[in-house]
Structure 1
């Protein structure tokens, strides 16, 4: 059960791992993409649904909106965080939902209260006698204090939990991006976030340097089918200065992919203007399949807001207490239309080769 499901990043990973999914998403454009991809989709507001509407779901996942936390620590962000933590205490005390919803409606920005929805779903499932076996949540780093509060609540309900910040390039994503991740599992003593498989990116450091037990980080050039090296000049200015725009070479991972990725310039090393990234290429930097059927409006925003499927594969495997995803499973992300037979053959070949 995927709340705030977006265009399907987490669901792509789950489906490739053999886990059936259904997502709730309010944005019509993201729903158009999901349906083009064949993902089960409910277009609507997660607040209008609950566990009783999906009785067969035994895993809860989601990435609730978090814009109001992006300045956590001062001002509006700090106040939003304090408000949410206070509401969590009321939810744990099982105050009537109607009263909580009424007070949430009074908040200056309704998105602040949306971060509470996964906890509402989890508590309702617990109270119904059918708790979710596993819970997986992710968002920007500023949401980490909320995940800490979630961990305390769910530990008291019999879940093992873990949470922290993960770097996407440390899991083979050709992009530097930090995510606050939370996982919980019922009926176990311990659950842990996935271990890194690749080295973390450091500016000016060769990708071959670092822990020899880990693979080098993946570059833009590794995943994009361009027969030449290039530089990407960010739409954003470093430190807020438009004259100091960030630059990454094709021999490095991409900077964080945002909804404005189409505004990034792509140039040759001599400064010649080159074609900007297509939707397919932007999706590849997020580790979506090359042929993923991006549809509807605001595709750049859909891509920028999505969970990288490759990272999601690692997170889900950890939450389910499975072995890390196999190389065959990760390769299956290269194509959305890979048949079950092709995936089985790839797995068989890998086993035969002793990989």
Structure 2
């Protein structure tokens, strides 16, 4: 463990199933907390990164595993975690998920009412041409499937941890209502807390907001969102040259049978928080193979941060990064030659992009579309806070993420891929096909350009 404080787990032996595991952000967090994780990921390149990092992985479609191979999952798993693909819910996406929120809520009600998977699957095929929208239902479907699994003794998951883009908060709110009031079809109920959190308040050197949900099975105590350890980044305060001030724009909510309860998760006024981490804080000094960026620099991003236009544009090395996305490789970095002259320097390497996501230095990014892998990942520092809060642990020591990550040996990688893909060196017929991973074209009509 990263802390020797006498805080017991609410579970004796936590074991995390990470759905939509990506390149391993939550698994890295679990590793640093001595919590075993098992990830399911269908993108080949993300799996290659996971194998190179030594992470237990199944290269598969989450939905297919639930339907056809659930009994093959380790029966000891008692924590369910997941961040379903966010493209259709994201402000930057086509918006199919946002348009369908009410329909998704209806499916949640049908699932907890015990409607058959076959009926729901047939209906889902008619509901949307972009099946990624329906993937937000998979964590609930896994929770239900656990109670019907002979291999598990029909034992429900004890803890559920979910994260997504802020626009998915209404879905998590409906999850909370369903898990608290109705419960799973077998009668299992949960205590649930959810809200939108700013990751820079948890030591991640970027401004990134995430909608999160933490649920504990009734009898394991009331859950709470993680306490912020750092101050919020306020662009207006920064621009005026003032010290950053604390702010909280989203209030976490705990559901019970009667109403929403507000929970202040801010420290008291006599508990000063650390300043948010800047890009320079994590990139300035050499570590591992990272040579360090000793010169002051500016970053021009073509992408906003958390939908807040005030957080986009140019930032200095003394500020947090804008939201790290799959476009991180397009960000232009300018270095200072002297006080008044700058020139375009080297763009962020994948190692540096990973560090801005709070991955350890030298994390073994592999395969193609590495920038997209980095941008889609759960920031490990944020993941450590989420898992610690979910399991009743104190705030974690995220400084352990500053240690270079040891790559897996060839023997370890081959063993992991043999299990994850069915062969030590290649994918097999049981792996998802690459062509099935391409999202469908937008169903929205394009605006025609007018010619003057």
Query: What TM-score results when the alignment is normalised by the length of structure 1?
Result: 0.88
Task: Say if 2:180 is the partner of 1:177.
Answer: no
- Matched residues in 2 for 1:228 and 1:259: separation? 25
Q: Secondary structure at the match of 1:65?
A: coil
Compared CA separation, residues 235 and 79, structure 1 to 2 (3 A)? closer
- Does the CA-based 8 Å contact 2:359-2:401 persist in structure 1? no
- Matched residues in 2 for 1:266 and 1:173: separation? 20
Q: CA deviation at 1:271?
A: 2.8
Q: Which of 315, 318, 325 does residue 251 from structure 1 map onto?
A: 318
Q: Which position in structure 2 is the counterpart of 1:281? A: 352
Q: CA deviation at 1:154?
A: 1.6
Equivalent runs, 1:321-340 vs 2, <5 Å: 321-325=392-396, 327=397, 330-337=399-406
Post-superposition CA distance 1:32-87 (Å, at most 9, x none): 00000010110110111235332221111110012222359x97444321111111
- Does the CA-based 8 Å contact 1:16-1:333 persist in structure 2? no
Compared CA separation, residues 70 and 228, structure 1 to 2 (3 A)? same
RMSD of aligned Cα (Å):
2.5
Q: Which of 19, 29, 46 does residue 13 from structure 1 map onto?
A: 29
Q: Which position in structure 1 is the counterpart of 2:231? A: 199
Task: Say if 2:227 is the partner of 1:160.
Answer: no
Q: Which position in structure 2 is the counterpart of 1:232? A: 299
Q: Which has the higher contact order (CA 8 A, sep 6+)?
A: 2
- Matched residues in 1 for 2:328 and 2:71: separation? 39
- Does the CA-based 8 Å contact 2:304-2:322 persist in structure 1? no
Number of equivalenced pairs: 334
Compared CA separation, residues 236 and 194, structure 1 to 2 (3 A)? closer
Q: Secondary structure at the match of 1:102?
A: helix
- Does the CA-based 8 Å contact 2:97-2:133 persist in structure 1? no
Query: What TM-score results when the alignment is normalised by the length of structure 2?
Result: 0.70
Equivalent runs, 1:205-220 vs 2, <5 Å: 205=238, 206-207=242-243, 213-220=272-279
Question: Tell me, which stretches of 5 or more residues in structure 2 are unaligned?
Answer: 1-16, 247-268, 284-291, 408-452
Q: Secondary structure at the match of 2:174?
A: helix
Post-superposition CA distance 1:132-178 (Å, at most 9, x none): 11111101000001111111122233211111001010001100000
Q: Which position in structure 1 is the counterpart of 2:72? A: 53
Question: Tell me, which stretches of 5 or more residues in structure 1 are unaligned?
Answer: 339-355
Task: Say if 2:280 is the partner of 1:221.
Answer: yes
Farther off after superposition, 263-272 or 125-134? 125-134
Post-superposition CA distance 1:254-292 (Å, at most 9, x none): 000011111111002423111110000000000001010
- Does the CA-based 8 Å contact 2:362-2:405 persist in structure 1? yes
Post-superposition CA distance 1:74-125 (Å, at most 9, x none): 9744432111111111111111111111111222211111100000001122
- Matched residues in 2 for 1:304 and 1:249: separation? 20
